[in-house]
């Protein structure tokens, strides 16, 4: 004998149970882009190292900008459907759109020596720290 309590169906559940199975197929481009690019930010003595997950994005569609300590990563995804005559798409999880992320680092970045590498869906930015300029002492006369 089972100790499970049978679940009682509501009127709403019964309505959808009787619907055709095709009703549950998601619309084309039903999978949204991530709401935010996931990043890891690390720091060593010389640089900030940022790893950003960007699966399915071509490296030509990734845009990175750095201004002082503000880093912006943006990507545009275009996964278009290949259609042939006579084909009928029943379900597609391909998507298109844009996503971006901006954040401030604790210190300024030397943009002239910054580098980026994209491999297996992970963008790695190496952003060297700007050399700290010691304040100039002003002689009082």
Kindly report, residue by residue over 112-129, the tens digit of the pLDDT: 999 999 999 899 999 999
- Inter-CA distances, 6 with 3, 10, 85, Å: 9, 13, 48
Domain annotation for the chain: domains and CATH numbers: 28-80+90-128 (2.60.40.790)
Note whether 89 and 28 are within 8 A (CB): yes
Tell me the Cα Rg of the chain. 25
- Is residue 6 helix, strand or coil? coil
Query: Would you state the structure tokens that stand for residue 135, as one six-digit string?
Result: 């304040």
- Is residue 69 helix, strand or coil? coil
For the stretch 20-63, pLDDT in tens is: 444 444 444 444 555 678 999 999 999 999 999 988 788 899 99
CA distance 141 to 137: 13
Range in 26-30, 75-79, 105-109 the model is least confident about: 26-30
């Amino acid at each position: 004998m089972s100790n499970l309590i049978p679940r009682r169906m509501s009127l709403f559940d019964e309505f959808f149970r009787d619907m055709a199975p095709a009703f549950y197929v998601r619309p084309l481009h039903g999978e949204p882009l991530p709401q935010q690019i996931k990043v890891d930010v690390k720091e060593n003595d010389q640089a900030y190292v940022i790893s950003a997950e960007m699966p399915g994005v071509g490296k030509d569609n990734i845009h990175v900008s750095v201004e002082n300590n503000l880093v912006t990563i943006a990507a545009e995804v275009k996964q278009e459907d290949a259609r042939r005559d006579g084909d009928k798409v029943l379900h597609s999880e391909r998507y298109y759109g844009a996503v971006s992320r901006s954040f401030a680092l604790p210190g300024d970045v030397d943009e002239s020596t910054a580098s980026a590498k994209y491999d297996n869906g992970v963008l790695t930015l190496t952003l060297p720290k700007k050399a700290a300029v010691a304040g100039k002492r002003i002689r009082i006369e």
